[in-house]
């Protein structure tokens, strides 16, 4: 078949974009590092249209790159510049909330719903969909599941994976795996859905999901405090956790990224002078009517101050103050970029290893790149502290990024030596395939390749992603 | 090689039992329905010995049946009578607690530790390992993971699967998958561990696990109450859940199994006369110091009585009373057996579908087996109500079990029609393979077979189990 025949066969399956100007937005993700236009963009409106599209692509031998909101940072949802001819399959038209069952604490949605749309539909039923991260207004649930997204609430409700009851998946040959059940207990064979969750579209296309909901929160308490060290932050975390505090967020923040917020975010209001090397932003939340979160929080903070684990501390007294504290955290990536280029890692370690991990990272980076500034900020409550090494102001991006692989590798190896992961929540995509090859257990890689070959024998699903 | 050569090669890898009297206990599980002696019982003491044993079995072409505490009910851990020559690989000598990290809320254990040993090691560190079910004193953690065990606490902490951070697995060819990490976030490729969890030993042998812990509970409240219907029980569940009650158990119990407890358990003390068709046993638990569970529980029960959702109710006033209430539930299987033979299902449905599921099951069973008595009891809080149909007293087991397949099929089909599962927590083993063939999506079965062929191409791991 000629390329023209291919495209008309695809257009018969579902709406397709083929004009270069229409396709252009689908050539890149938020990282900006990866850009390559697909042959066409398919925009199916149902699982049946996805199935027809995958059959047509298989017949034409075209590779398929599934795409959601394209908010990823690893090039997972854009074609490879050196890859085979590929189409992008965008789920954006599949954006129906299929069903909400409040009593069952479940919601069933199309894969193309944004994470925020799912949150809003849950809230309308008096429930909480707890997945929450910066890009939630654009990120689609199918992408969030395919990359097993994390975010700020995993300390309480886990990752995207932990919120899934069932999936609908179109397989590479166009068959539909209808596993969209809502049962909490099901032991009928291998847990297939866990291959597609975090599978980055390399085994099939998630078209629908049944998701768990939680009771709506009735009260929250948010605190921001100075701590002398990561070890002190962890001692406070332990104090809170052991006493059954209902933590829904626990962020550890180095002084430097807060300095950058002060410098670049005119709207930001820091509650006190930045005299400490580390800070914690934490939040408690409860669905219990009339529960008092404030008294135990104040008690824990007072005890932490007495034990030397904490210095100055503020508790938000209004929704406005709460928003102002979270704004400090949310504006950080923007302020970092405004200052100077940086190279980022996405590591996690066991929670108890966070202090030792940070100390080793700081020493190793300072030894080799003394001119760099350490940006450490992240979800310490689940061991996922994001490390970035920032160039001195005025350094051109290209110059600093010449060492990108070496910087990342330095951080990744320290994480792995601590029993950690070099990709905590962003996934692999194109950007971390070399780390997969260098750092992942060869036996695990062999098993993954065997599974890929079994489910996608022709290798047409998102080729050149994830597996090295 | 002759059979004798095979056995001496195996004995060189690890201690082995070959005398018929020694082997006999390994020929059966708790169901008593399946019994067949293996050629030998291998008792490795380390992952390395397991690896050597699997290599030797592969060389000899012997099938391997991994076994833990053999508390399963589906014949999953015993050789098939019609199967190929097989050895049982017992993990019982691998019973070390490898590490407890209280601050990380994790524990790392050998697969042969009993569930209770894991609970006790966690408790000694001021933590809770929440997996709990009747056989926990004998069941081993490797078996609990291989069957994704459920139990009474899943409403709060999920199934065994949800408690796993990492696994060590010996593959059919003797390679070791070392994925025993303790990170909460890890997106480095396919989530391999979820294939082995619930995989019933058909893909490899779990030899170690890193497990999540929770803070130790500081307070519990336990209530037993009469409810007019399953719908009323669900309304009470909704009332509690929506108000953020920290439910750690919610059991729905029909009148008949309680009658049998009164009849056959002299030590049982029923708190009031059995005048209602349904009962609920519920428990709240919290790790929060000084939290008041009693007031909200009393409030919810009073509101439920006012709304007609509940009748008589008692709240345990002491640990002794709490134990007495749970004894009613725990002694049930024994009392059922003492009365007459029964045929059991292991179904689950979405929580909101429990009332309609029960009504249809009751009607369908009564229509075809009017002489049977319905035993309905189970974890309604997660949609997993166990159904059994009991013969009239004095009926011989063989006579009643002539209809076993038809009874199970009747219940299973109603569960599946409600979007449910025909194997909620016991697994498939030998006993539910026909249901897998009849009721599981053929596309899902195809995928499972592809995965089995990819990971165990010679089909030596627990053959004739799970996959039809």
What would the pLDDT profile of B125-171 be if each residue is shown by its tens digit?
A: 999 999 999 999 999 999 999 999 998 899 999 999 999 999 999 99
List the single best residue of A143, A150, A189 to mutate versus B (max B Cβ within 10 A).
A189
Domain boundary among B333, B367, B398: B333
Give yes or no for A104 touching B (CB within 8 A): yes
Instruction: Verify that B123 and B203 share a domain, yes or no.
Output: yes
Query: What is the CB neighbour count within 10 angstroms for residue A263?
Result: 12
- Do the domain assignments include residue A467? no
Query: Which of A3-12, A13-22, A160-169, B173-182 is least confident?
Result: A3-12
- Look up the CATH number of the domain holding residue B395: 3.30.70.2740
**Per residue in A25-39, pLDDT tens?**
999 998 888 999 999
pLDDT for B1 equals 45
Angle (nearest 5°) at CA B435 between B432 and B439: 150
A327 found inside a domain: no
Verify that A236 and A178 share a domain, yes or no.
no
> How high is the mean pLDDT of chain A?
96
Are the CB atoms for B63 and B86 separated by under 8 Å? yes
Q: What are phi and psi of A133, to 5 degrees?
A: -155, 170
Interface of B with A in 226-265 (CB under 8 A): 234, 238, 241-246
A203 and A298 both lie in a single domain:
no
**Who among A244, A384, A443 is closest to B288 (CB)?**
A244
Identify which of A227, A283, A232, A285 has the alpha carbon closest to the alpha carbon of residue A258. Answer: A227
DSSP letter, residue A391: P
**Residue B423, number of CB atoms within 10 A of its CB:** 30
CB contact under 8 A, B199 and A190: yes
pLDDT, mean of residues A213-230: 97
CA distance A152 to B335: 49
Q: What's the domain range around A11?
A: 3-90
| A364 in Cβ contact with A345 (< 8 Å) | no
Going by pLDDT thresholds of 50, 70 and 90, the confidence category of residue A1 is very low
- Tokens for A173, please give them: 């040959």
Does one domain contain both A223 and A206? no
**CA–CA separation, A76 and A80 (whole Å):** 9
A76 & A104 share domain: no
| Per-residue pLDDT tens over the stretch A127-136 | 999 999 999 9
CA distances B370 to B175, B366, B390, Å, are 55, 4, 11
- Does residue A103 share a domain with residue A208? yes
Is the same domain home to A35 and A47? Answer: yes
Name the stretches of chain B with pLDDT < 70: 1-5
Split into its structural domains, chain B has a count of 4
345-404 in chain B: CB under 8 A from chain A: 348-353, 379, 382-384
Region A338-358 average pLDDT: 97
Clarify whether residues B265 and B201 are in a common domain: no
Query: Counting one residue from A and one from B, how many pairs have CB atoms under 8 Å apart?
Result: 277
The residue length of chain B stands at 468
Residue of B nearest to A196 (CA): B190
The answer on B229 and B328 residing in a single domain is: yes
Centre a 10 Å sphere on the Cβ of residue A277 and count the other Cβ atoms it contains. Answer: 13
In a domain, B174, yes or no: yes
pLDDT of residue A4 exceeding 80: no
CATH code, domain with A174: 3.30.465.10
- Choose the final residue of a domain: A90, A113, A148: A90
Instruction: Verify whether the Cβ–Cβ distance B148 to A187 is below 8 Å.
Output: yes
- Considering only CB atoms, B447 lies closest to which of A177, A382, A445, namely A177
Domain boundary, last residue among B308, B333, B358? B333
Chain A residues whose CB is inside 8 A of the B191 CB are: 148, 161, 194-195, 197-198
Note whether A252 and A210 are same-domain residues.
no
Interface membership of B178 toward A (CB under 8 Å): yes
Q: For the domain that residue A297 is a member of, what is the CATH number?
A: 3.30.70.2190
User: Residue A5: its pLDDT value, please?
Assistant: 66
Neighbours of B392 (CB within 10 A): 12
Q: Which residues contact A248 (CB under 8 A, 6 or more apart)?
A: A130, A153, A155, A156, A157, A217, A220, A283, A284, A285
Give yes or no: residues B127 and B230 share one domain: no
In sequence order, what E strands does B342-433 have?
342-344, 373-379, 384-390
ipTM of the complex: 0.96
Which CATH number does the domain housing residue B51 bear? 3.30.43.10
Q: Is residue B457 part of a domain?
A: no
The whole-number pLDDT of residue A32 equals: 81
pLDDT value of residue B8: 83
CB-CB under 8 Å, A422 with B188: yes
Nearest to B453 by CA among A444, A455, A195: A455
A23 and A76 fall within a common domain: yes
Q: What is the pLDDT of residues B61-83, one digit of tens each?
A: 999 999 999 999 999 999 999 99
* Beta carbons of B185 and A349 less than 8 Å apart: no
Rounded alpha-carbon distances, angstroms, from residue A164 to A86, A121, A140, A190, A211: 29, 16, 15, 15, 5
Using alpha carbons, select from B100, B102, B64 the residue that is nearest to residue B83. B64
Which chain A residue has the Cα nearest residue B421?
A186
For B122-133, what is each residue's pLDDT tens digit?
A: 999 999 999 999
Count of H helices and E strands in chain A? 17, 18
What is the sign, positive or negative, of the torsion defined by CA atoms of A130, A131, A133, A135? negative
Query: How many other CB atoms are there within 10 angstroms of residue B282's CB atom?
Result: 29
Which tokens in the block code for residue A2?
A: 């000629």
CB neighbours of residue A4 within 10 Å: 8
Q: What tokens were used for A159?
A: 């990752």
Choosing among A185, A241, A284, A431, which should be mutated to test the B contact, i.e. which has the most B CBs within 10 A? A185
| Residue B463 resides in a domain | no
């Amino acid at each position: 078949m000629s390329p023209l025949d291919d495209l008309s066969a695809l257009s018969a399956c579902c709406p397709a974009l083929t004009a270069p100007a229409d396709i252009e937005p689908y050539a890149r993700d938020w990282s900006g590092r990866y850009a390559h236009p697909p042959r066409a963009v398919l925009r199916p409106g149902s699982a049946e249209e996805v199935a027809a599209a995958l059959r047509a692509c298989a017949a034409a031998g075209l590779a398929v790159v599934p795409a959601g909101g394209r908010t990823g940072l690893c090039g997972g949802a854009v074609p490879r510049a050196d890859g085979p001819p590929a189409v992008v399959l965008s789920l954006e038209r599949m954006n129906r909330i299929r069903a909400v069952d409040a009593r069952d604490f479940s919601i069933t949605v199309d894969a193309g719903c944004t994470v925020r749309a799912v949150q809003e539909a849950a809230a309308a039923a008096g429930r909480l969909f707890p997945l929450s991260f910066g890009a939630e207004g654009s990120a689609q649930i199918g992408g969030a599941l395919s990359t097993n997204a994390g975010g700020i609430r995993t300390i309480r409700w886990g990752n995207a994976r932990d919120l899934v009851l069932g999936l609908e998946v179109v397989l590479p040959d166009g068959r539909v795996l209808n596993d969209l059940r809502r049962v909490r207990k099901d032991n009928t064979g291998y847990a297939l859905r866990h291959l597609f969750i975090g599978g980055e579209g390399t085994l099939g296309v998630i078209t629908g999901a049944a998701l768990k909901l939680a009771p709506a929160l009735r009260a929250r308490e948010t605190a921001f405090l100075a701590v002398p060290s990561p070890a002190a932050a962890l001692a406070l975390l332990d104090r809170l956790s052991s006493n059954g505090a209902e933590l829904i967020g626990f962020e550890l923040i180095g002084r430097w990224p807060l300095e950058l917020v002060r410098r670049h975010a005119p709207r930001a209001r820091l509650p006190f002078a930045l005299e400490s090397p580390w800070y914690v932003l934490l939040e408690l939340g409860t669905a219990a009517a009339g529960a008092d979160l404030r008294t135990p929080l104040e008690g824990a903070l007072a005890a932490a101050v007495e034990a030397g684990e904490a210095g100055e501390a503020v508790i938000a007294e209004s929704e406005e103050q709460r928003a102002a504290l979270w704004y400090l955290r949310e504006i950080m990536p923007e302020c970092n970029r405004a200052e100077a280029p940086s190279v980022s890692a996405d590591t996690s370690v066991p929670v108890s290893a966070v202090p030792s991990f940070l100390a080793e990272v700081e020493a190793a980076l300072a030894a080799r790149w003394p001119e760099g500034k350490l940006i450490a900020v992240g979800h310490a409550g689940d061991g996922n502290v994001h490390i970035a090494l920032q160039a001195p102001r005025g350094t051109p991006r290209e110059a600093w990024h010449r060492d990108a692989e070496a910087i990342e590798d330095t951080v990744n190896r320290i994480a792995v030596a601590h029993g950690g992961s070099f990709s905590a929540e962003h996934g692999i995509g194109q950007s971390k395939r070399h780390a997969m090859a260098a750092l992942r257990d060869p036996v695990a890689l062999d098993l993954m390749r065997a599974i890929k070959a079994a489910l996608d024998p022709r290798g047409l699903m998102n080729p050149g992603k994830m597996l090295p």
